[in-house]
Structure formats: C-alpha cells, structure tokens
Amino acid sequence: MLILFFLQLASPKVSFLNKRRMKFALPRIQFFLILQILSCQVILAQNTVRLSDFYPAGDAIVQGSNCFQLTHDRQWSSGSIWYKESIDLSSSFDMELELMLGRKDRAGADGIVFVFHPQRIRVGYAGEGMGFAGLVPSIGIEVDTWENTHLLDPAEDHIAILKNGSVAHYNNLAGPIKIDNIEDGRNHKFRINWDATTQELAIYLDGRKKLAVRENIVKTIFGGQSKVYWGITSATGKFNNQQNVCLKKLVFDIKIENLFDDPRAKPKLLSGEIASLKSVSFPSGRSNILPVSFKELDQLVAFLKQNPNLTVEIAGHTDSSGDNEVNRKISQRRADAVANYLKRKGISLRRVYTRGYGEEFPIASNSTESGRKKNRRVAIRVFKPLP
Ligand SMILES: [Ca+2]
Ligand SMILES: [Ca+2]
C-alpha cells in the first residue's frame, strides 16, 4: 500500500498547490446550481445495557442477570437506578424495559417513574411521589398503581407523562391513561421512544402505544440544555409492593459532527484510508471555508503536527449536476481552500497536495438528493514515507 501511495504521488496528475488554480475565470452560472453542503453524519448505535452502566441508589439492588429490584415489599421503601452517561435529547433514542409492579393489587403501591433530569443519582419524595416528586426540571413517565385523589389519580392503574417533579395530573404533559391491573407479578414490556425530528415522546406498554406528547422538551423543560441523565425511580408508602425493572434495549443516534470525533479516524488515516471531512461545506458556487468547518480542520492541523512525517492529499468532489469540467474546477478550488487553511495554521504546503476530481468518483447515487449530498465532499488521505 505504501508503494502504491508513492506511485500516485509521482503521477503527473497529482500536483502541488499553486497559484495558477486561484486564477480561474469567474464561476459560470452552473456553479451556482451546485450546492455543496455536507451535513452531520448520523449513525445508529445500539448499546447493550449492562447493570454496571447504572448507579443504584436507595433500596435498589441487583436482581438477576439484567434486572434491579427498586423497592422492597414494605412500607416507605424507595430506590432508583441512574444511567451513568448523559444522553443528548437532540438525538433520537429508543429504550425497552420490563417493569414488574408487584403482586398486590388492592393493597399495592405506589409505582415506577422513568425520569429525565439534569443530575443523576437524585431521588425525589417517596410514597405518592414515587421517587420523582420534587426533581426539577424533569420529565417523568409514570406507571402509577395507587389512587391519590388529591392528585386527580384515576382509581385504576394508569400511565402519564409528568413534568418538573409534579405527580399531579392537573399539571402533566399527557394522560393519565387507565391501564389494566398491572400488579399481577409479571414482567410487562415498557418502551420509550423519543423522535428528535418530530419531537414526539411515545410510550408503549406490552407492545401497544399508550400515550404520546409532542413537545420541544429541550426548550420548554430543560432551558435549552439537551444533555440530560435518565433514571428509573420507584417508591412505596403506607401500602407497598416489590417493584423491579429489567433492562432490555437501548438504541440511540450518535451525531458524528466531524471526522476526528470518531475514535477510529486516526488509525484509519494512518493506514492510508480515504476519509471525508464531515463538516467541510461551501455555499453554492463558492470556495471559502465556513466557520462550521474550523473545529474539524484544526483537528486535522493538530493531527498533522503530531505526525510531522506525513503528507496529505486533499481531494475535492462534486455531484454530477452541471458541467463535468466546471465541476472539476470547482472541486479543485475547494480542495485548494482547505490547503490554504492548513497553511495559515502552520502546515507547510510541501506536505499538502490538492486535487479536484469533479464528479468522477461518486460514493452514492446521483439520482437522489441524499446521494448527491454525500457526493459533494472533501476527502483526505495521508501518505507515509517509505521505510
Ligand atoms: Ca392495580
Ligand atoms: Ca398515585
């Protein structure tokens, strides 16, 4: 591979950045039809949730392979578990749990609440508060098994979406929805889905959608702070039940906003792989670097400074819209703009090669807008010296 790289370096097609390229004629109208915006890449990650990913608090104890007992079957027990890492509500996620609310129907209480809160390992009031009451700001998804009439609880077991540590239904976001008696000693599937695009928070019980709310909760509840912790709280009061939670699945989107946010980036680059700069975008027909690209380019500068023996090829690509030759020229100008940025940050242009490939090497279909967007890119590849 190393030899191949050097053969390419020696090829006359590859040239040093030079001033001639900066003297292109004024962009033709086709330039303005070429929109080169690279959006953040979103990948779907599935986490295998493990008990060790949680902090247990209060009476919570490990029970079985993937389960916690949250409360004992006794009066005034309260327990919670909190996921150690924050999650970002600007991304979507999907969680599947199993809840066991105990065996006592008439004398059983009080319920379990799934909570979003800016701090972790916090537990609110026990009894009717279910470990959620008093946590502000917050979102709580409750499965309530005890009727507290002053809170406007239905007589039946019920589900509601609560906010800001209030368990009263005159103040909640959605519900209460009555459900069949859930204190039957069995595990019940409980799913929470957050769609960051539509901003819908949906709750499923035993495979059926029970409740949903559309709300910009990052803005209206958390004051613009999208990173929050999540936990599951539970409590008993004068009446009681053993209450458990089992963790099944956690799926969430991770936004990779630039190449160097991915821990695999540097090993890939060092092995000679071509990688796209994810944040490098240009206004239509232009080749000036936008501020949104600075962070990633500065990380590239740091990478090149840490590896002073490497040289780098900057490759510009376009989609197939417009004239082939125009596309080649604009891709060259954009690659040169990236090289000039590196130069301003102290990287010698003797280490930087630029090349405009135009529409020659698509990585996605040019027949769809999402494919064309992927094709409009700037990629880099580093070359190692021969040993
Ligand atoms: Ca019940
Ligand atoms: Ca209640």
Question: Residue 283 C-alpha to ligand 2 middle, in angstroms?
Answer: 55
Strand blocks (E) in 200-242:
200-205, 208-214, 227-235
What residues have their beta carbon closer than 5 A to ion ligand 2?
A: 144, 146, 148, 153
CA-wise closest residue to 340 among 15, 18, 13: 18
CB contact at 8 A, 302 and 259: no
Joined together, the tokens standing for residue 307 give 């590896």
Q: Furthest-apart CA pair in the chain: how many Å?
A: 85
Ligand with the closest atom to the CA of 180: 1
Distance, in Å, from the CA atom of 156 to the CA atom of 9, rounded to the nearest integer, reads 75
Task: Give the residue ranges of the chain where pLDDT is below 70.
Answer: 1-49, 252-256, 281-286, 386-387
Ligand with the closest atom to the CA of 154: 2
Distance, in Å, from the CA atom of 162 to the CA atom of 134, rounded to the nearest integer, reads 12
CA-wise closest residue to 334 among 349, 317, 320, 313: 317
Joined together, the tokens standing for residue 328 give 């080649």
Question: Residue 212 C-alpha to ligand 2 middle, in angstroms?
Answer: 20
CATH superfamily of 2-40+258-383: OmpA-like domain (3.30.1330.60)
In DSSP terms, 161 is beta-bridged to: 141, 174
Spell out the domain ranges in the chain. Answer: 2-40+258-383, 43-256
Ligand with the closest atom to the CA of 179: 1
Q: What is the pLDDT of residue 288?
A: 79
Q: What is the pLDDT of residue 9?
A: 27
Question: Residue 189 C-alpha to ligand 1 middle, in angstroms?
Answer: 16
3-class secondary-structure state, position 356: strand
Question: Residue 336 C-alpha to ligand 1 middle, in angstroms?
Answer: 69
Could you tell me the CA-to-CA distances from 15 to 5, 6, 21, 352 in Å, in that order? 14, 13, 11, 10
Q: Would you state the CATH architecture of domain 43-256?
A: Sandwich (2.60)
Joined together, the tokens standing for residue 172 give 């909640």
Q: What is the pLDDT of residue 67?
A: 93
